[in-house]
Copies of this chain bind each other. A is one copy, B any other.
Amino acid sequence: MNDTTIAEATIEADPVIPAIHIRRDFHATPAQLVRAHTDPELFVRWVGPDGTSGLRIDYWEGRTGGGWRYTGSSDGHDYAFRGTFHEVREDRVVQTFTWEGMPDDVSLETMTFEDLGDGRTRLHAKSLCDSFEARDAWLRSGMEVGVNDGYAKLDRMFANGDV
């Protein structure tokens, strides 16, 4: 891990709209964070809780107007996530997100990458759900484990020069 400090992500419910806010600092540039979220070969190496492996990209167009889908397996069951990249730019990624186990639930995720200088970047992620019930179900789902495990893997990839 070299000098990289592993930090817990801040995960908060929005007080007014059915959204979740995540904030997390990285030893990386905004451009590296955009690549980590839009290059499928990089993405499958860090997303999800520890123990996630063998994710398969079904399709992936990491650009404004592109679609994506990936599949994993757990205890012999396949699970899939699917969405689109509404926008990919140098400091911002906006995408839709559906877990196909609840195919009619769609969230809209806006990630902005704030350059803190000294090679550090603050990720601000906002997940807008279409009801407070759906938002609160995500918050109760144990999502913080996947978020924190995933970002810790990403920390190690940045420290290793993999991105």
Q: Give me the interface of A with B, judged by CB distance under 8 Å.
A: 16-19, 59, 61, 64-69, 82-87, 92, 94, 96, 98, 104, 106, 108, 110, 126, 128, 130-132
B67–A64 contact, CB under 8 A? yes
Chain A facing B: main interface SS: strand
B96–A108 contact, CB under 8 A? yes
A106–B86 contact, CB under 8 A? yes
Closest CB-CB distance, A130 to chain B, in whole Å?
A: 5
A94–B110 contact, CB under 8 A? no
Complex Cα spacing A111 to B131, Å:
16
Of B17, B92, B104, B106, which is within 8 A of A132 by CB?
B17
Closest CB-CB distance, A34 to chain B, in whole Å?
A: 16
